[in-house]
Structures are given as structure tokens and as C-alpha cells.
A and B are shown apart, each in its own frame.
Chain A
Amino acid sequence: MTEPGDQGEARIEAALSRLGAEHEPPPGWEARVLAALGPERRRRPWWVFAAPGLAVAVSAAIVVLVVRPPKQRELEVAVRRKDLHQPLPVTRSAQPDEYQIGETIQVTVSGGAHRALWVYRDDRELVIACPRAPACQSLDDGISVDFVLKTVGEYKVFALSANASPPEPSGNYDADTAAIMRARIEPQVRKFHVP
């Protein structure tokens, strides 16, 4: 059996549950909340403002470290005897830049970009030109060619590197060196002598 006091409290509970049911929030309260949030939203932590700058810096670092090609190695040219087992004439001592008829010479150009290699003899004869000559070999970072010294004379190796393809040699020494100058290419030149 329900006590009168319990009934009263049940009525109070029911009245409490309905309390305020007739009230609605004033129209436009949501807009006022959002309007008040405007300045709050502008008051953002420092990293929100720094984020675009950081993103640009990170992107630049990625470009510099990853996308950008590695710095080019300086252009180098090396001339050496190919067959070291071949005995040199004992009648005379070989000078550092002096080779003998019949020796196989290996010329290697490395570093740089868009490389070319010309070998002229006595400023007249184009002995070999890479990369077009069949004997030329393409390396990871250069080109190399072996050739046999058949004629005496002063040999000049022109190692060329250019942003675009270097000029093709015509076989005319003066014309080819002029073409190098026109292309604003500074060649590495190595000389050797075949007595």
C-alpha cells in the first residue's frame, strides 16, 4: 500500500520531470553561439598560424634533399694505359704523359652532365669522338673509350660537359674548338705525347 507521503513525492517527481517543458530557448540562440565563436576561432594557437610556413619549409626541404638531383661531380678526365701487362720498351724510360705506338690507351671522362669526349692529334686529326663512336662505352657516371695509338704526335683529349648536348665535332679542329667556345663550354683538356 502506498503511503500518502510516497504519493506526494511521486507527484513531485512527476512535476519535476515536466518542469520547464513550456520553455523554449529564445529564437536565434544558435546564431549567437556561432557569432560568439567567431572571435574564439580567430584566437588559435600559434602552431595553427605556423603550420603553413612549416609545411612550405618541409616541402622545400624535401625538394632540396629528395627531388633535386644530387650535386654534379666535377668533370674529370683520366688517361691511362689499358694493357699494363704490355711491356714498355726498355731502351727508354716512359715519361708520365708519354706513350708508345701500339699501346692501348683508355680515356675516361666522368662527372658533369651531357658529356662528350674528343681526341685530336696534332690539332688536325680527330682520332675518336664519344659518345658517337662505336668503341665508346657508357658508364654510370661517364664515358670511356679504348683506342690503339697508331701514329706519333701530340694528342689532346677534350672532355666536355654541357647543360644540353655538346656540339658534334666536325673533324675540323679550328671549327670544333670554335663551336666549344660558342657553346660557352669550358673543356677539360689533357695532353699526351706519342714520340
Chain B
Amino acid sequence: MQRHGTAVYRYCREALRDAALAEDVQQQVFIAAFRDLPRFSQRSSVRTWLFAIARHRALDAAKSRRRARSRVEGDDATSVPDPAPSPSDSLDDARLREALRLCLGELNPRVLSALLLRFQQGFTFEDMAAMCREKPGTLQAQVTRALPVLRTCIERRTGAVP
């Protein structure tokens, strides 16, 4: 648990952008892992197996939250304020990070998940294919298409080039 707990939490935190929900999902991941441990086939690494559970749980949680929000208050994304535009053309890391988080929130949860698994967690597309049950090429295409979208979004939100 200690070995992978922090990484799973960080993934959930960025995938859900909600600390409390991330903590809840992280615990669900490890509870499910303990429960399913006898069925773990060891065809993949423990880390890949854990993140497959985490991805699944995080997508479920995001879907449930989206449904709840649409019933109660509508789309929350529009209520998030943009970071203040910088007068300069260069973008410091802090502003980039803030803008990136907001732009990630605009992505499809599955694409967001693919980006996080690829760059935040450093999985190969083959590992990701195993946990997402998709072809590596499909995931690579998702990631490749998502990067220009993020860049454009960050430019729009910050008025600066990343």
C-alpha cells in the first residue's frame, strides 16, 4: 500500500480535481485490490493492475459526479475562474500549472486519464492498453491529439504561449 498509495492518490486527485473524492476513490482502489488479490493473475505488474482499478474507479466517480452536478447546479466548469492573464508573453510554471489544471478539466475523462497515465505516471502505451482494454495506437492517438488541444486552451486562458 505504501509503495503505490501516493501515486494512486495523485492520479485520482488530478483525474477528479477533488481532494475528498480522490481520497475516497484511492481507498476504494486498495479495498478492491485486497479483495481481488486472489484473482490477480500476475500477467501484469501490481502497479499496472492497481492503476487499472484506479482508472476504472475514477471514471465511475467522475461520471457519478457529473450526473449529480447536472441535476443540481449545471456544469461546474464554467464557474471556475481563469487565472489572471499575464502581461508578458512568457508563462511561468505556476501559471502554466494552474491553466493546465483548468484545461484538463475540459477534457473527456478518458482522454484525461490517458494523459495522466502516460505523463504523470509514466506508463507505456502497452501498459495503458492492458489497463484500458484498448489498442496502444488508439491511446497514443488520443494523447497526441490532446496535447495541441491543451496548448490552445492554455493560450486562451493565459493569453501567453506555454
Contacts and interface: CB of A to CB of B under 8 A. Distances in A.
Given A30-B2, A37-B34, A20 B96 contact: no
Dominant SS at the A interface? helix
B85 interface: no
Interface stretch (B69-77, B133-141, B147-155): B147-155
Contacts of A9: 147-148, 150-151
Contacts of A4: 161
Question: Size band of the B side of the interface?
Answer: 20 to 34
B122 A17 contact: yes
Q: Which of A4, A8, A17, A26 is the most central at the interface, judged by chain B CB atoms within 10 Å of its CB?
A: A8
Question: Size band of the A side of the interface?
Answer: 20 to 34
Interface of A: 4-5, 8-9, 11-13, 15-21, 23-26, 29-30, 32-33, 36-37, 40
Given A15-B96, A33-B1, 19 more contacts: A8-B151, A9-B147, A12-B96, A12-B147, A13-B147, A15-B93, A16-B115, A16-B120, A19-B116, A23-B9, A24-B6, A24-B9, A25-B5, A29-B5, A29-B27, A30-B1, A32-B27, A33-B27, A40-B31
